[in-house]
C-alpha cells in the first residue's frame, strides 16, 4: 500500500493528560545577564563549574609535570676533573683532567704505565694491587686517584731497581717466594709496610698481617721465610 502522509500534529492542541501543561519558553539571548558571567555580585553555574574543573586538573597534576612546567634555575656547570698533583715514586704528577671515577690502580697502569702494580680481582680481595700511600699499604683498586692528591705514593718500581734491590726483594729471590709472579709485587709491598707496623714476632703474627695478600700458587711458606729474614726475628710458638 502507498505511504499515506500522516497529518501534522498541532503542538498547540496536543492531547495532554490532566497533570501535563504546555509552557511557552523564550529562547536564551546572548545578553542574558545570568548566562555566563557574574550579575549583581553572583557567579553563574557555568562559570563556577568551569573554575572547579580547572582546579581539579591542577590538584591532580603530578609533581613532575608541575616541575617541568616551572622554568628551572640555571645550574652552574660542575667539573669532574681534579686540579691537584700527587707524588709517585718521588716524581710529581699533575692530576688535572683526571676524572673522579678513575682509580689509583688505573691511573698507575693505564696513564703512567707503571705496570708493576697488578690488577687481580679489582675488588680489594687479593692484594695484588697493593701500594703505599704516605707509607701505609692500601689497595689501589679501591682508592680513587683524586683521593691521593697532595700525598706520596710508592709502587713496586719505587722501592728498588735491578742492581739495587730492596732487602725484601732480595729475600723473596733467595727464598723463592714466588712462582707465577703475578702476586709478588703486592706481596712485597705489604711485606715492606709490615716492617714499620707493630706486628708480633711469631709466624702467626706475620701470617695474619699478610692475610690480605693471596698467592694462588701457594708459596706461603717461602714468603713467610723471606719476611722473617728481613725482620730479623726467629720463629716463636704462636702461644708465646
Give the pLDDT of residue 156. Answer: 96
Give the pLDDT of residue 28. Answer: 54
Which segments in the chain show pLDDT lower than 50? Answer: 33-40, 66, 76-80, 233-240
Give the pLDDT of residue 84. Answer: 87
Give the pLDDT of residue 209. Answer: 93
Give the pLDDT of residue 109. Answer: 96
- Measured distance CA(78)–CA(173) in Å, rounded: 50
Which residues have C-beta within 8 Å of that of residue 225, sequence separation ≥ 6?
171, 175, 177
What residue has cell string 697502569? 109
Task: State the distance between the two ends of the chain, measured CA to CA, in whole angstroms.
Answer: 129
If we measure between CA atoms, which residue out of 149, 25, 156, 141 comes closest to residue 89?
Answer: 156
pTM for the model stands at 0.63
Give the pLDDT of residue 201. Answer: 87
Give the pLDDT of residue 161. Answer: 87
Amino acid at each position: 500500500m502507498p505511504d499515506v502522509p500522516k497529518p501534522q500534529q498541532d503542538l498547540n492542541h496536543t492531547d495532554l493528560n490532566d497533570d501535563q501543561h504546555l509552557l511557552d519558553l523564550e529562547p536564551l539571548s546572548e545578553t542574558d545577564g545570568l548566562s555566563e558571567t557574574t550579575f549583581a555580585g553572583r557567579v553563574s553555574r557555568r562559570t563556577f563549574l568551569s573554575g572547579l574543573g580547572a582546579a581539579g586538573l591542577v590538584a591532580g597534576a603530578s609533581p613532575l609535570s608541575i616541575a617541568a612546567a616551572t622554568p628551572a634555575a640555571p645550574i652552574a656547570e660542575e667539573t669532574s676533573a681534579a686540579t691537584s698533583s700527587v707524588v709517585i715514586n718521588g716524581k710529581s704528577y699533575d692530576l688535572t683532567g683526571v676524572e673522579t671515577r678513575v682509580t689509583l690502580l688505573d691511573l698507575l697502569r693505564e696513564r703512567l704505565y707503571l705496570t708493576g702494580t697488578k690488577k687481580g680481582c679489582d675488588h680489594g680481595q687479593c692484594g695484588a694491587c697493593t701500594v703505599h700511600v704516605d707509607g701505609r699499604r692500601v689497595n689501589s683498586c679501591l682508592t680513587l686517584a683524586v683521593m691521593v692528591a697532595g700525598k706520596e705514593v710508592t709502587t713496586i718500581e719505587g722501592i728498588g731497581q735491578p742492581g739495587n734491590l730492596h732487602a725484601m726483594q732480595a729475600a723473596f729471590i733467595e727464598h723463592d717466594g714466588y712462582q707465577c709472579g703475578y702476586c709478588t709485587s703486592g706481596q712485597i709491598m705489604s711485606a715492606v709496610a709490615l716492617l714499620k707496623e707493630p706486628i708480633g714476632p711469631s709466624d702467626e703474627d706475620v701470617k695474619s698481617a699478610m692475610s690480605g695478600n693471596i698467592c694462588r700458587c701457594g708459596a706461603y711458606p717461602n714468603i713467610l721465610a723471606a719476611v722473617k729474614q728481613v725482620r730479623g726475628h726467629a720463629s716463636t710458638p704462636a702461644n708465646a
